[in-house]
Amino acid sequence: MDLFRKTIICFLIVIASMFNIMLAQTTNAINWKEDLKIYKTSLEQKHIDIYHSITKEDFLEEWFKIYNNVESLSDFKIILKLMRLTRRINDGHTSVSLRNMSTHRFPFEIEWIENKWYVVKTLNKNKKILKTTLESINGISIDTVTQKISEIAQFVENEYSLKDRTGSYLTISEVLFHLNLIDATNKATFSFRNQNNELITLELAGITTEMWEEAGISEIHLTVPEIEKPNNVNPDLWFTSISGKKALYINFESYPTFEDMQIFGEQLISYIQENKTKQVIIDMRENGGGDLYVGTVLAYALNLADSIDWKNGVFVLTSHKTFSAATSNAALFKQLLNAKVIGQPTGSNPNGYQDMDSFILPNSKLVITYSKRLFRLSNQVNTALQPDIIVNQKKSDLVNNIDTVLRVLLNRF
Protein backbone atom coordinates (compact mmCIF):
# COMPACT_ATOMS: atom_id res chain seq x y z
CA MET A 1 0.00 0.00 0.00
CA ASP A 2 2.88 2.39 0.82
CA LEU A 3 4.45 1.70 -2.56
CA PHE A 4 1.12 2.31 -4.25
CA ARG A 5 0.69 5.59 -2.36
CA LYS A 6 4.19 6.73 -3.33
CA THR A 7 3.52 5.83 -6.96
CA ILE A 8 0.32 7.86 -6.96
CA ILE A 9 2.06 10.84 -5.35
CA CYS A 10 4.91 10.71 -7.87
CA PHE A 11 2.40 10.49 -10.70
CA LEU A 12 0.51 13.56 -9.40
CA ILE A 13 3.77 15.49 -9.05
CA VAL A 14 4.68 14.70 -12.66
CA ILE A 15 1.21 15.74 -13.87
CA ALA A 16 1.41 18.98 -11.85
CA SER A 17 4.84 19.74 -13.27
CA MET A 18 3.64 19.11 -16.80
CA PHE A 19 0.63 21.40 -16.18
CA ASN A 20 2.87 24.17 -14.86
CA ILE A 21 5.15 23.84 -17.89
CA MET A 22 2.15 23.99 -20.22
CA LEU A 23 0.79 27.02 -18.35
CA ALA A 24 4.12 28.79 -18.59
CA GLN A 25 4.33 27.96 -22.28
CA THR A 26 0.84 29.32 -22.82
CA THR A 27 1.70 32.56 -21.00
CA ASN A 28 5.06 32.92 -22.72
CA ALA A 29 3.59 32.31 -26.17
CA ILE A 30 3.25 36.10 -26.26
CA ASN A 31 6.42 38.12 -25.82
CA TRP A 32 4.93 40.36 -23.16
CA LYS A 33 8.25 41.89 -22.14
CA GLU A 34 8.73 43.32 -25.60
CA ASP A 35 5.11 44.51 -25.69
CA LEU A 36 5.45 46.14 -22.28
CA LYS A 37 8.55 48.03 -23.38
CA ILE A 38 6.73 49.27 -26.46
CA TYR A 39 3.68 50.19 -24.35
CA LYS A 40 5.78 52.39 -22.05
CA THR A 41 8.05 53.92 -24.70
CA SER A 42 5.25 54.63 -27.15
CA LEU A 43 3.03 56.31 -24.57
CA GLU A 44 5.93 58.48 -23.41
CA GLN A 45 6.68 59.49 -27.00
CA LYS A 46 3.17 59.86 -28.40
CA HIS A 47 1.01 61.15 -25.52
CA ILE A 48 0.94 64.93 -25.17
CA ASP A 49 1.67 64.69 -21.42
CA ILE A 50 1.48 61.17 -20.01
CA TYR A 51 2.58 62.22 -16.52
CA HIS A 52 0.01 64.97 -16.00
CA SER A 53 -1.64 63.07 -13.11
CA ILE A 54 0.61 60.16 -12.16
CA THR A 55 4.29 60.74 -11.43
CA LYS A 56 6.85 59.00 -13.60
CA GLU A 57 8.21 57.24 -10.51
CA ASP A 58 4.80 55.81 -9.57
CA PHE A 59 4.10 54.79 -13.15
CA LEU A 60 7.43 52.99 -13.51
CA GLU A 61 7.07 51.27 -10.15
CA GLU A 62 3.75 49.77 -11.23
CA TRP A 63 5.07 49.00 -14.71
CA PHE A 64 8.08 47.08 -13.33
CA LYS A 65 5.77 45.00 -11.12
CA ILE A 66 4.02 43.78 -14.25
CA TYR A 67 7.19 43.46 -16.32
CA ASN A 68 9.04 41.38 -13.72
CA ASN A 69 6.15 38.96 -13.18
CA VAL A 70 4.91 38.18 -16.67
CA GLU A 71 6.12 34.55 -16.48
CA SER A 72 3.78 33.84 -13.57
CA LEU A 73 0.72 35.55 -15.05
CA SER A 74 -1.79 34.45 -17.65
CA ASP A 75 -2.25 36.66 -20.69
CA PHE A 76 -5.52 38.13 -19.52
CA LYS A 77 -4.16 38.79 -16.01
CA ILE A 78 -1.41 40.86 -17.63
CA ILE A 79 -4.04 42.74 -19.64
CA LEU A 80 -6.03 43.50 -16.48
CA LYS A 81 -2.92 44.80 -14.74
CA LEU A 82 -2.18 47.00 -17.75
CA MET A 83 -5.75 48.28 -17.61
CA ARG A 84 -5.31 49.23 -13.94
CA LEU A 85 -2.02 50.99 -14.67
CA THR A 86 -3.44 52.85 -17.67
CA ARG A 87 -6.38 54.06 -15.58
CA ARG A 88 -3.88 55.80 -13.30
CA ILE A 89 -2.85 58.04 -16.21
CA ASN A 90 -6.27 59.60 -15.53
CA ASP A 91 -7.21 60.31 -19.12
CA GLY A 92 -10.37 58.93 -20.71
CA HIS A 93 -8.76 58.77 -24.14
CA THR A 94 -5.69 56.83 -22.97
CA SER A 95 -6.82 53.27 -22.47
CA VAL A 96 -6.31 49.59 -23.16
CA SER A 97 -8.85 48.57 -25.78
CA LEU A 98 -10.02 44.95 -25.99
CA ARG A 99 -11.28 45.27 -29.55
CA ASN A 100 -8.55 42.99 -30.95
CA MET A 101 -8.97 40.42 -28.19
CA SER A 102 -11.09 37.30 -28.54
CA THR A 103 -13.64 37.96 -25.81
CA HIS A 104 -17.18 36.85 -25.06
CA ARG A 105 -20.06 38.77 -23.59
CA PHE A 106 -23.09 37.67 -21.67
CA PRO A 107 -26.14 38.45 -23.82
CA PHE A 108 -27.67 41.52 -22.21
CA GLU A 109 -26.94 45.21 -21.71
CA ILE A 110 -27.63 47.28 -18.62
CA GLU A 111 -28.02 50.96 -17.73
CA TRP A 112 -27.89 52.79 -14.40
CA ILE A 113 -31.34 54.25 -13.69
CA GLU A 114 -32.52 55.47 -10.27
CA ASN A 115 -29.61 53.72 -8.52
CA LYS A 116 -30.21 50.30 -10.05
CA TRP A 117 -28.87 48.40 -13.07
CA TYR A 118 -31.76 47.86 -15.50
CA VAL A 119 -31.61 45.42 -18.40
CA VAL A 120 -32.30 47.43 -21.57
CA LYS A 121 -31.31 44.89 -24.21
CA THR A 122 -31.15 41.09 -24.44
CA LEU A 123 -31.82 38.10 -26.67
CA ASN A 124 -35.40 37.42 -27.72
CA LYS A 125 -35.33 34.10 -25.91
CA ASN A 126 -34.49 35.90 -22.65
CA LYS A 127 -37.02 38.69 -23.16
CA LYS A 128 -38.45 38.14 -19.67
CA ILE A 129 -35.40 39.87 -18.13
CA LEU A 130 -35.97 43.09 -20.11
CA LYS A 131 -36.66 45.98 -17.67
CA THR A 132 -35.58 43.86 -14.70
CA THR A 133 -32.80 44.89 -12.33
CA LEU A 134 -29.56 42.91 -12.10
CA GLU A 135 -29.15 41.71 -8.50
CA SER A 136 -26.17 39.33 -8.45
CA ILE A 137 -23.73 37.23 -10.47
CA ASN A 138 -22.91 33.74 -9.20
CA GLY A 139 -24.38 34.77 -5.86
CA ILE A 140 -22.10 37.81 -5.55
CA SER A 141 -24.04 41.04 -5.00
CA ILE A 142 -24.03 43.46 -7.90
CA ASP A 143 -22.50 46.17 -5.67
CA THR A 144 -19.44 43.98 -5.05
CA VAL A 145 -19.18 43.08 -8.72
CA THR A 146 -19.39 46.68 -9.93
CA GLN A 147 -16.79 47.82 -7.42
CA LYS A 148 -14.25 45.37 -8.84
CA ILE A 149 -15.18 46.12 -12.45
CA SER A 150 -14.92 49.88 -11.88
CA GLU A 151 -11.23 49.51 -10.98
CA ILE A 152 -10.29 48.27 -14.46
CA ALA A 153 -12.93 49.90 -16.70
CA GLN A 154 -11.34 51.88 -19.54
CA PHE A 155 -12.22 55.15 -21.32
CA VAL A 156 -13.12 56.71 -17.98
CA GLU A 157 -12.78 60.46 -17.57
CA ASN A 158 -15.07 61.32 -14.68
CA GLU A 159 -17.56 59.80 -12.28
CA TYR A 160 -20.26 59.68 -14.96
CA SER A 161 -18.32 57.76 -17.60
CA LEU A 162 -17.07 55.49 -14.79
CA LYS A 163 -20.63 54.37 -14.17
CA ASP A 164 -21.38 53.94 -17.88
CA ARG A 165 -18.16 52.02 -18.66
CA THR A 166 -18.57 49.79 -15.61
CA GLY A 167 -21.89 48.65 -17.00
CA SER A 168 -20.36 47.79 -20.38
CA TYR A 169 -17.37 45.83 -18.97
CA LEU A 170 -19.58 43.97 -16.52
CA THR A 171 -20.91 41.65 -19.24
CA ILE A 172 -17.50 40.56 -20.60
CA SER A 173 -17.04 36.98 -19.41
CA GLU A 174 -13.22 36.98 -19.52
CA VAL A 175 -13.12 40.09 -17.33
CA LEU A 176 -15.45 38.54 -14.76
CA PHE A 177 -13.50 35.27 -14.73
CA HIS A 178 -10.04 36.77 -14.33
CA LEU A 179 -11.31 39.08 -11.58
CA ASN A 180 -12.42 35.87 -9.79
CA LEU A 181 -16.08 36.86 -9.92
CA ILE A 182 -17.18 33.75 -11.84
CA ASP A 183 -15.62 30.29 -11.74
CA ALA A 184 -15.97 29.32 -15.41
CA THR A 185 -14.56 31.24 -18.35
CA ASN A 186 -17.77 31.35 -20.32
CA LYS A 187 -20.71 30.58 -18.08
CA ALA A 188 -22.35 32.21 -15.05
CA THR A 189 -25.58 32.42 -13.10
CA PHE A 190 -27.37 35.77 -13.02
CA SER A 191 -30.20 36.87 -10.76
CA PHE A 192 -32.65 39.54 -11.87
CA ARG A 193 -35.64 41.11 -10.13
CA ASN A 194 -38.75 41.98 -12.12
CA GLN A 195 -41.41 44.65 -11.62
CA ASN A 196 -43.41 42.27 -9.39
CA ASN A 197 -40.39 41.88 -7.09
CA GLU A 198 -39.92 38.29 -8.26
CA LEU A 199 -36.40 36.89 -8.60
CA ILE A 200 -35.47 35.42 -11.99
CA THR A 201 -32.34 33.27 -12.10
CA LEU A 202 -30.71 32.34 -15.40
CA GLU A 203 -27.55 30.46 -16.30
CA LEU A 204 -26.12 32.27 -19.30
CA ALA A 205 -23.28 31.47 -21.68
CA GLY A 206 -21.01 34.11 -23.16
CA ILE A 207 -21.24 34.75 -26.90
CA THR A 208 -19.01 36.56 -29.36
CA THR A 209 -19.76 40.06 -30.59
CA GLU A 210 -20.58 38.60 -34.02
CA MET A 211 -23.08 36.18 -32.50
CA TRP A 212 -24.66 39.03 -30.52
CA GLU A 213 -25.04 41.18 -33.64
CA GLU A 214 -26.62 38.34 -35.61
CA ALA A 215 -28.99 37.18 -32.86
CA GLY A 216 -32.63 38.16 -32.45
CA ILE A 217 -32.64 41.08 -30.02
CA SER A 218 -35.26 42.57 -27.71
CA GLU A 219 -34.54 46.06 -26.47
CA ILE A 220 -36.19 49.08 -24.94
CA HIS A 221 -36.97 51.94 -27.32
CA LEU A 222 -37.70 55.12 -25.39
CA THR A 223 -39.87 57.52 -27.35
CA VAL A 224 -42.39 60.34 -27.22
CA PRO A 225 -45.36 60.36 -29.63
CA GLU A 226 -44.48 63.82 -31.00
CA ILE A 227 -41.25 62.51 -32.58
CA GLU A 228 -41.19 59.75 -35.18
CA LYS A 229 -38.06 58.54 -36.91
CA PRO A 230 -38.40 58.84 -40.71
CA ASN A 231 -37.89 55.82 -42.93
CA ASN A 232 -34.73 55.31 -44.99
CA VAL A 233 -32.47 57.66 -43.06
CA ASN A 234 -28.95 57.34 -41.69
CA PRO A 235 -29.65 55.75 -38.27
CA ASP A 236 -26.90 57.82 -36.64
CA LEU A 237 -27.71 61.28 -38.07
CA TRP A 238 -31.21 62.37 -39.04
CA PHE A 239 -33.80 65.05 -38.40
CA THR A 240 -37.58 65.26 -38.27
CA SER A 241 -40.28 67.74 -37.37
CA ILE A 242 -41.89 67.66 -33.94
CA SER A 243 -45.62 67.12 -34.22
CA GLY A 244 -47.77 70.12 -33.31
CA LYS A 245 -44.84 72.49 -32.89
CA LYS A 246 -42.64 74.75 -35.02
CA ALA A 247 -39.73 72.64 -33.84
CA LEU A 248 -37.13 70.25 -35.20
CA TYR A 249 -35.47 67.22 -33.63
CA ILE A 250 -31.93 66.25 -34.74
CA ASN A 251 -30.63 62.81 -33.78
CA PHE A 252 -26.82 63.21 -33.70
CA GLU A 253 -25.67 59.77 -32.57
CA SER A 254 -22.33 59.55 -34.35
CA TYR A 255 -20.12 61.59 -36.65
CA PRO A 256 -20.29 61.30 -40.44
CA THR A 257 -17.56 62.46 -42.79
CA PHE A 258 -16.95 66.17 -43.24
CA GLU A 259 -18.56 66.05 -46.70
CA ASP A 260 -21.63 64.14 -45.47
CA MET A 261 -22.16 66.65 -42.67
CA GLN A 262 -22.03 69.47 -45.25
CA ILE A 263 -24.78 67.74 -47.25
CA PHE A 264 -26.79 67.13 -44.09
CA GLY A 265 -26.41 70.78 -43.11
CA GLU A 266 -27.68 71.97 -46.49
CA GLN A 267 -30.74 69.71 -46.23
CA LEU A 268 -31.30 70.88 -42.67
CA ILE A 269 -31.16 74.60 -43.42
CA SER A 270 -33.49 74.22 -46.41
CA TYR A 271 -36.06 72.46 -44.24
CA ILE A 272 -35.79 75.04 -41.44
CA GLN A 273 -36.19 77.98 -43.82
CA GLU A 274 -39.12 76.38 -45.63
CA ASN A 275 -40.96 75.52 -42.40
CA LYS A 276 -40.03 78.63 -40.37
CA THR A 277 -38.71 76.42 -37.57
CA LYS A 278 -38.37 78.22 -34.24
CA GLN A 279 -36.93 75.56 -31.92
CA VAL A 280 -34.21 72.96 -32.46
CA ILE A 281 -33.27 69.95 -30.32
CA ILE A 282 -29.87 68.35 -30.94
CA ASP A 283 -29.83 64.93 -29.27
CA MET A 284 -26.25 63.84 -28.44
CA ARG A 285 -27.05 61.42 -25.61
CA GLU A 286 -25.75 58.36 -27.49
CA ASN A 287 -22.82 60.12 -29.16
CA GLY A 288 -19.47 58.70 -28.04
CA GLY A 289 -17.32 61.08 -30.08
CA GLY A 290 -15.62 61.57 -33.42
CA ASP A 291 -14.27 64.60 -35.23
CA LEU A 292 -14.87 67.81 -33.31
CA TYR A 293 -14.53 69.91 -36.46
CA VAL A 294 -17.28 67.97 -38.25
CA GLY A 295 -19.61 69.02 -35.44
CA THR A 296 -18.85 72.67 -36.09
CA VAL A 297 -20.22 72.23 -39.64
CA LEU A 298 -23.61 71.51 -38.06
CA ALA A 299 -23.33 74.66 -35.97
CA TYR A 300 -22.43 76.68 -39.08
CA ALA A 301 -25.49 75.39 -40.96
CA LEU A 302 -27.88 76.14 -38.10
CA ASN A 303 -26.44 79.61 -37.67
CA LEU A 304 -27.80 80.54 -41.13
CA ALA A 305 -31.42 80.07 -40.02
CA ASP A 306 -33.00 83.39 -39.00
CA SER A 307 -36.35 81.81 -38.09
CA ILE A 308 -34.87 80.05 -35.04
CA ASP A 309 -35.53 81.59 -31.62
CA TRP A 310 -31.88 82.31 -30.89
CA LYS A 311 -32.61 83.50 -27.36
CA ASN A 312 -34.51 80.49 -26.01
CA GLY A 313 -35.00 78.01 -28.83
CA VAL A 314 -31.89 75.79 -29.11
CA PHE A 315 -31.39 72.75 -26.89
CA VAL A 316 -28.69 70.08 -26.69
CA LEU A 317 -29.41 66.76 -24.95
CA THR A 318 -26.53 65.02 -23.17
CA SER A 319 -26.01 61.91 -21.05
CA HIS A 320 -23.23 60.02 -19.29
CA LYS A 321 -22.54 58.38 -22.68
CA THR A 322 -21.81 61.74 -24.35
CA PHE A 323 -18.05 61.58 -24.72
CA SER A 324 -14.98 63.10 -26.37
CA ALA A 325 -15.82 65.29 -29.40
CA ALA A 326 -19.53 65.03 -28.54
CA THR A 327 -18.87 66.71 -25.20
CA SER A 328 -16.67 69.32 -26.87
CA ASN A 329 -19.31 70.06 -29.49
CA ALA A 330 -22.03 70.31 -26.84
CA ALA A 331 -19.87 72.88 -25.04
CA LEU A 332 -19.29 74.75 -28.32
CA PHE A 333 -23.01 74.69 -29.13
CA LYS A 334 -23.59 76.53 -25.87
CA GLN A 335 -21.21 79.23 -27.06
CA LEU A 336 -21.95 79.32 -30.80
CA LEU A 337 -25.71 78.64 -30.77
CA ASN A 338 -26.66 79.94 -27.31
CA ALA A 339 -27.94 76.43 -26.63
CA LYS A 340 -29.24 75.19 -23.31
CA VAL A 341 -27.98 71.76 -22.28
CA ILE A 342 -30.64 69.36 -20.97
CA GLY A 343 -30.22 65.88 -19.49
CA GLN A 344 -27.28 64.38 -17.60
CA PRO A 345 -23.66 65.52 -17.10
CA THR A 346 -21.40 64.27 -19.88
CA GLY A 347 -19.07 61.30 -19.57
CA SER A 348 -16.02 63.36 -20.56
CA ASN A 349 -14.75 66.82 -19.70
CA PRO A 350 -14.77 69.74 -22.16
CA ASN A 351 -11.40 70.73 -20.69
CA GLY A 352 -8.95 67.87 -20.94
CA TYR A 353 -6.79 65.50 -22.94
CA GLN A 354 -8.50 64.50 -26.20
CA ASP A 355 -7.99 63.81 -29.92
CA MET A 356 -7.46 60.07 -29.55
CA ASP A 357 -5.02 58.01 -31.58
CA SER A 358 -3.77 54.44 -31.08
CA PHE A 359 -1.02 51.91 -31.65
CA ILE A 360 -0.99 48.10 -31.54
CA LEU A 361 1.39 46.04 -29.44
CA PRO A 362 3.07 43.72 -31.97
CA ASN A 363 2.92 40.42 -30.08
CA SER A 364 -0.35 40.50 -28.15
CA LYS A 365 -2.11 42.71 -30.76
CA LEU A 366 -3.50 44.71 -27.85
CA VAL A 367 -4.69 48.18 -28.89
CA ILE A 368 -3.46 51.11 -26.79
CA THR A 369 -5.16 54.50 -27.25
CA TYR A 370 -3.73 57.86 -26.19
CA SER A 371 -4.40 61.61 -26.30
CA LYS A 372 -2.61 63.92 -28.72
CA ARG A 373 -4.13 67.26 -27.73
CA LEU A 374 -5.27 69.31 -24.75
CA PHE A 375 -8.60 71.14 -25.23
CA ARG A 376 -10.04 73.93 -23.08
CA LEU A 377 -13.63 74.59 -24.10
CA SER A 378 -15.42 75.46 -20.87
CA ASN A 379 -15.13 77.55 -17.73
CA GLN A 380 -15.91 74.37 -15.77
CA VAL A 381 -12.46 73.02 -14.91
CA ASN A 382 -11.79 69.27 -14.60
CA THR A 383 -15.42 68.24 -14.61
CA ALA A 384 -18.17 67.11 -16.94
CA LEU A 385 -20.21 69.51 -19.00
CA GLN A 386 -23.01 70.18 -16.56
CA PRO A 387 -26.53 70.62 -17.97
CA ASP A 388 -28.45 73.84 -17.52
CA ILE A 389 -31.37 71.60 -16.56
CA ILE A 390 -30.61 68.14 -15.14
CA VAL A 391 -33.13 65.48 -16.16
CA ASN A 392 -32.62 61.76 -15.51
CA GLN A 393 -34.57 58.88 -16.99
CA LYS A 394 -37.31 57.77 -14.61
CA LYS A 395 -37.97 54.15 -13.79
CA SER A 396 -41.73 54.69 -14.15
CA ASP A 397 -41.21 56.06 -17.66
CA LEU A 398 -38.79 53.25 -18.55
CA VAL A 399 -41.49 50.68 -17.81
CA ASN A 400 -43.79 52.50 -20.24
CA ASN A 401 -41.09 53.11 -22.90
CA ILE A 402 -41.26 56.89 -22.41
CA ASP A 403 -38.20 59.08 -22.92
CA THR A 404 -38.22 61.19 -19.75
CA VAL A 405 -35.75 63.79 -21.02
CA LEU A 406 -37.69 64.51 -24.22
CA ARG A 407 -40.99 64.48 -22.35
CA VAL A 408 -39.78 67.09 -19.86
CA LEU A 409 -38.28 69.29 -22.58
CA LEU A 410 -41.29 69.18 -24.90
CA ASN A 411 -43.56 70.12 -22.02
CA ARG A 412 -41.58 73.38 -21.85
CA PHE A 413 -42.35 74.34 -25.46
* Residue 157 in this model has a pLDDT that exceeds 50: yes
* Residue 15 in this model has a pLDDT that exceeds 70: no
How much is the average pLDDT of 20-33? 61
* Residue 20 in this model has a pLDDT that exceeds 60: no
333-384, pLDDT tens digit by residue? 999 999 999 999 999 999 889 899 999 999 999 999 999 999 888 776 668 9
37-60, pLDDT tens digit by residue? 999 999 999 999 999 999 999 999
Residue 368: its pLDDT value, please? Answer: 98
Residue 27: its pLDDT value, please? Answer: 45
Report d(CA 25, CA 6) in Å as an integer: 28
Residue 213: its pLDDT value, please? Answer: 85
305-343, pLDDT tens digit by residue? 999 999 999 999 999 999 999 999 999 999 999 999 999
Q: What percent of the chain has pLDDT over 90?
A: 86
- Residue 339: alpha-carbon gap to chain centroid: 25
Query: Do 130 and 220 form a contact (C-beta atoms < 8 A)?
Result: yes
* Residue 5 in this model has a pLDDT that exceeds 90: no
The helix (run of H) or strand (run of E) holding residue 367 is strand 367-376
Say if residue 196 is exposed, middle or buried (CB neighbours under 10 Å; 0-12, 13-18, 19+). exposed
CA dihedral 378, 384, 387, 392 (to 10 degrees): 170
213-250, pLDDT tens digit by residue? 888 999 999 999 999 999 989 999 999 999 999 999 99
How much is the average pLDDT of 140-161? 97
To the nearest 10 degrees (0 to 180), the angle between helices 32-46 and 75-87 is 20
Mean pLDDT of the chain: 92
Residue 2: its pLDDT value, please? Answer: 53
Residue 369: its pLDDT value, please? Answer: 98
Confidence of residue 22 (pLDDT cuts 50, 70, 90): very low
How much is the average pLDDT of 140-146? 97
Confidence of residue 61 (pLDDT cuts 50, 70, 90): very high
Query: Please, what's the b/e burial string for 112-151 (b: 16 or more CB within 10 A of its CB; e: otherwise)?
Result: bbeeebbbbebbeebeebbbbbbbbbbebebeebbebbbe
Report d(CA 58, CA 50) in Å as an integer: 12
* Residue 18 in this model has a pLDDT that exceeds 70: no
Least confident of 28-32, 63-67, 207-211, 236-240: 28-32
Residue 254 one-letter amino acid: S
How much is the average pLDDT of 158-178? 97
Stated pTM of the model: 0.89
Residue 7: its pLDDT value, please? Answer: 46
* Residue 26 in this model has a pLDDT that exceeds 60: no
